[in-house]
Amino acid sequence: MAFLVAYLAIRGVFIRRARRQQKTDKGDARDRLLIAPVGIAQIVLPLVFVWTPGLAFANRAQPPACAALGIVTMAAGLWLFWRSHVDLGDSWSVTLELNANHRLVTRGVYRFVRHPMYTSFFVSGFGQALLLANWVAGLSALVAVALLVAVRLPNEEKMMIAQFGDEYRDYMRRAGCIVPRLS
């Protein structure tokens, strides 16, 4: 629950900041719909698992060490989530949209990965799977994030190429998409 509260606090601060920005390219309805399963998987299903017996049919045995590893993994995912927001600053928004002063961010965690927020979702999803000994609540975040990334990422890359052209193409060669480049 502590991770959920921290996640919502981070997101809330940056949503309020993003609302102050003048947008030049608004996200579409499909993009907003893609966000809903992630919220259900990261927030609703874990709450149902913890507070009700509604998902008890999918409980599974799990070694106690998984909880400790899950806490460390969730903390790493939460740090990367926060750092991604901070490094993006005014260029962040919930949906795929550009603001009037949008700039290409290639510093901080963006120096290594073009989409560290998606990376943070995957890392947190692994942490959730380790913390919640339930097939549905535990694995739901990984499934929802994989769907989000599979559908949204190509559109995001196209939007960034359209906005920044060769500068973004050069950045693509330097930085990994979701996982840092090894070379």
Q: Return the pLDDT at 22.
A: 54
Give all domains of the chain, ordered by start, each with its CATH number.
Answer: 2-174 (1.20.120.1630)
For residues 36 and 41, what is the distance between their CA atoms, to the nearest angstrom?
Answer: 9
pLDDT in tens, 164-175: 999 999 999 999
| Backbone φ and ψ of 76, nearest 5° | -65, -45
pTM for the model stands at 0.87
pLDDT in tens, 127-143: 999 999 999 999 999 99
| Backbone φ and ψ of 134, nearest 5° | -150, 130
Strand boundaries in 70-145, DSSP class E: 98-99
Q: Return the pLDDT at 170.
A: 97
Residue ranges in the chain modelled with pLDDT below 50:
none
